Amino acid sequence: MDDIPGPLPLQPVKFMDKFRAFIRSRQLAYRTEKTYCNWVKDFIRFHKMARPESMGAAEVDQYLSYLALQRSASINTQKTALNALAFLYRQYLSRDLGELNYSPSSRPRTLPVVFSHTEAMTIIEKLSGVHKLCVSLMYGSGLRVMEAVRLRIQDIDLANDCIIARETKGRKWRRTLLPSSLIDALKLQIEYALLLHKRDLADGFGAVYLPDALARKYPSAPTEPGWQYLFPAAHLAMDPRANIKRRHHIGEQQVQRAVKMALRSSGIFKKAGCHTFRHSFATNLLRAGADIRNIQEMMGHNDLTTTQIYTHVVGIQERGLTSPLDAT
């Protein structure tokens, strides 16, 4: 249950507890909270445990330059650290950092690794059960692994042939494709999840985790069928905040391990993982002639330039070009 925020003191005293409480008051995703807190702690450690209130733009510049020059951080890594520190100073401490003057990362952005359709299906066929269905949704619908494992039963909209990804990066909602080839498997999975939920209710459990705002707004929702996880965990576990036993969803690491094993046995020697299926969803749609703005919407990208990186992945041989060596 590592995606459920841990409890905080009612009146936090420690700096990081206060910072976490502030992040939660702004309704940021828990993954964002963990990322920001990790970067802030690293920043504090780098400056020999100095308090953030006693530091400012000079120390931020020094730290960001260190990430680029000493730790060889990528552009995106340095940008994530900057976002965390900007949030710390501008939002939490209400201090404007002004114009920063750090050394930017020289490590170029790399193109994402993608699978061909044949490669993707070869790996998927090495999987079984919920892992196979989960990965099929990543490839067939462009879901991140966290989005796939967190799907609720009501997110599978069979009537409108779509999937609703509601617990996404940045807490945004979006609709994406529901592969028709997965409909029968999804119906069976829904049936299984509902039977498990019925058994949990009979045993005195059955209240699923909901984020605070939803739980307050819909007090009866935790026991309703539609809110149950599509991929429920095999066992009940203690919710660290509510201090009650719940059935959570299967873990991301469980799926990641299964994909790693399938990759190894498939003989596909690419630096790949679960996220590669999401990249492959976008790239193979582009190969098939899909409009890039439709792909942007289904991927949930705020900026079209993020989606446009896939135009560089599609091979030049697919643009009608051939090597001079192959000329007849």
Q: Which residues are catalytic?
A: 144, 169, 275, 278, 301, 310
**3-class DSSP state of 74:** strand
Q: What is the DSSP code string of 215-283?
A: HHH-TTGGGSGGGSBSSB-SS-EE-TTT-SEE--BPPHHHHHHHHHHHHHHHT--SS--HHHHHHHHHH
Exposed / middle / buried, residue 161 (Cβ in 10 Å: 0-12, 13-18, 19+)? exposed
Please report, as a single letter, which amino acid is at residue 14. Answer: K
- What is the DSSP code (8-state) at residue 176? E
Rounded to whole angstroms, what are the CA distances from 124 to 136, 163, 176, 268, 273?
Answer: 7, 20, 20, 12, 12
Please name the residue that has the structure tokens 């596909």.
Answer: 268
**Between the CA atoms of 69, 74, 75 and 79, what dihedral angle is there, to the nearest 10 degrees?**
-90
- For residue 319, report the phi and psi dihedrals to the nearest 5 degrees: -105, 15
Q: Where are the beta strands (DSSP E) in the chain?
A: 156-157, 162-165, 174-177, 237-238, 245-246
Is residue 156 classed as helix, strand or coil in its secondary structure? strand
